[in-house]
Structure 1
Amino acid sequence: MSTSAPRRGRQAADEPGFTSLVDNPPELVRSGRKHGPGLIILAIIPVTAFILGTWQVQRLKWKTELLAKCEDRIVREPLPLPPRVDPDAIVDFDYRRVWTEGHFRHDQEMLIGPRMREGEQGYMVVTPLEREGGEGSTVLVNRGWISKKVMDQSKRPDSLPTGKVRVSGLLREPWKKNMFTPDNKPERGEFYFPDVRQMAALTGSQPVWIEQTMDPDYFQVMDFETRGIPIGRPAEVNIRNNHAQYIFTWYGLSIATSIMFWLVVKKPPTDIARRVRMNKSW
């Protein structure tokens, strides 16, 4: 008696157009979103830094021209200060050397500070200078720095000349207060920054500011400090010019972030970020 093997049913592999999953190569794809909002921010940074660097180039040109003008004014012969000065014209004479004569009004003296000098705390002495041009010809003179130890006038009689004096110095544009400086309190005699117009109104002076100058002689400076005589500033331009440093910083940031942006965009997917997309075409 003969026995035959059971007949198996027809399988999918028997179809002539069958393709197995093994035969069909998997497709490698990146999982998740390809780029997020962080990439947009990273793209904005180098553009913004480049714009700021270009702006600093323009600022450097402007500051260089301003320094050249001020240095040219400071080397010229001093001009006699006229009895009346147009406050709006001072900007065209900033750092111009001038001289004038008059009597100091020590009863209207104002101390601005604190101000540090070589590690010691002190004040700037501002005194109205009453001139012979009649009423309204008084100007404000920044006589220089004194130590806090002699802020009381009774401790520095040598700093209070009573006769006619000749003042030589720099005509300066009114100061600008920064956001970190507190407001003056003139009713209490407290001044933290030289508000020229405010001080002129308090003393009946013109809003004209002269910085008295002196040659930087070490022994004379020591003598003045001991006797409480205000130490004037040297006749030099002290305008800060850091724009070249800012240009390097902004352009450097633009280049660095541009490289980071390119690396992020061109970075290949990692093994963890890959998956096999299931092929359902069979």
Structure 2
Amino acid sequence: MTRRLRWPRLILVSLFAAVLLTGFLRLGVWQVQRLHWKLDLIERVDARIHASPVPAPAADAEVSREGDEYTRVTLTGTYLNDDEVLIYTPSDFGPAYWVLTPLQRDDGSVVMINRGVVPQQDGEASGFVRIDGETTVTGLLRMSEDEGWLFSRDNNPQERLWYRRDIGSITRAMGFDVAAPYFIDQELTLPGAWPRGGMTVVRFRNAHLGYALTWFALALVVVAGYGLLLRYELRPPPEAG
């Protein structure tokens, strides 16, 4: 004599298990794909930052985070020191500022140069080096920080208070008609002097393998749980004494 199967419940549980299993497997596969994408991105960025510099794109050129960020570039122009911008940032030196200075090229276009970091007290006292005359800058192309973080403050162009490197809002507030949509993180040029260049942190969080293993483990839990249910449902009933 076999146990009478409770079909409605078994069908519902089977459908639920199938949905969960499919979802967990798809999420796991997606994370594996993201893992390969992230590894490829890290490899490409590593190649860019160690490559010989190329001319910086024109102000009206199409640039993208995927295709251009962290490219090592070079450009020549003249700093507009009167229009420099200080942007607060935590640093290895304590509270500090990024010093962003517009560099005007021969064609009249402007590129914002992140010359590096300066301690807060030195920044507020203008205690850092400025460069006059034509100069050549080499550094990493960075994309504008148009969106803030969860607790970041918004830029206040009216008060000239800047909290993120939103190049569009900065150049518009300064009245530059032709300005590049990106900025350049300058390399270290004057060791021991402020501002201190070469402070770009190139780091990509890569937890996709852990996420993939988690989703696949949950899929195994569903399979194991469903197997136990079938074992219970199909086992013979106890013999009557």
Q: Match for residue 11 of structure 1? A: none
Letter in 2 for 1:66: L
Q: Distance in 1 between matches of 2:16 and 2:157?
A: 48
TM-score by length of 1: 0.65
Q: Match for residue 107 of structure 2? A: 134
Q: How does 1:123-162 map to 2 (within 5 A)?
A: 123-131=97-105, 133-135=106-108, 137-152=109-124, 154-156=125-127, 158-162=128-132
Contact 1:95-1:172 within 8 A present in 2 as well: yes
Shift of the alpha carbon at 1:53?
A: 1.4
Q: Which runs of 5+ in 2 are unaligned?
A: 234-241
Q: How does 1:240-255 map to 2 (within 5 A)?
A: 240-255=205-220
Question: Residue 165 in 1 paired to residue 135 in 2?
Answer: yes
State the Cα RMSD in Å.
3.6
- Select the structure of larger CA radius of gyration: 1
Q: Match for residue 51 of structure 1? A: 26
Q: Match for residue 145 of structure 2? A: 175
Identity level (%)? 28
Q: Distance in 1 between matches of 2:144 and 2:61?
A: 9
Contact 1:74-1:96 within 8 A present in 2 as well: yes
Q: Match for residue 277 of structure 1? A: none
CA distance change for structure 1 residues 195 and 265 in 2, over 3 Å: closer, same or farther? farther
Q: Match for residue 184 of structure 1? A: 155
CA distance change for structure 1 residues 150 and 44 in 2, over 3 Å: closer, same or farther? farther
Contact 2:148-2:154 within 8 A present in 1 as well: no
Deviation string for 1:154-205 (max 9, x for gaps)? 341x322333332110122333525513432222223232222222322313
Shift of the alpha carbon at 1:34?
A: 5.5
Contact 1:171-1:210 within 8 A present in 2 as well: yes
Shift of the alpha carbon at 1:130?
A: 1.8
Shift of the alpha carbon at 1:55?
A: 0.9
Deviation string for 1:15-45 (max 9, x for gaps)? xxxxxxxxxxxxx999xx967x899766644
Q: Match for residue 77 of structure 1? A: 52
CA distance change for structure 1 residues 150 and 39 in 2, over 3 Å: closer, same or farther? farther
The count of residues paired between Structure 1 and Structure 2 equals 230
TM-score by length of 2: 0.75
Q: Match for residue 167 of structure 2? A: 196
Q: How does 1:227-266 map to 2 (within 5 A)?
A: 229-233=194-198, 237-263=202-228, 266=231
Q: Which runs of 5+ in 1 are unaligned?
A: 1-27, 269-282
Deviation string for 1:82-130 (max 9, x for gaps)? 6x333413553332211222222232222223x2223722222211112
Q: How does 1:216-235 map to 2 (within 5 A)?
A: 220=191, 223-224=192-193, 229-233=194-198
CA distance change for structure 1 residues 236 and 191 in 2, over 3 Å: closer, same or farther? closer
Q: Distance in 1 between matches of 2:216 and 2:197?
A: 40
Q: Distance in 2 between matches of 1:97 and 1:267?
A: 64
Contact 1:60-1:243 within 8 A present in 2 as well: yes
CA distance change for structure 1 residues 179 and 172 in 2, over 3 Å: closer, same or farther? closer
Deviation string for 1:68-91 (max 9, x for gaps)? 332223232112336x33341355
Between 191-200 and 39-48, report the one with greater CA deviation. Answer: 39-48
Q: Distance in 1 between matches of 2:156 and 2:164?
A: 10
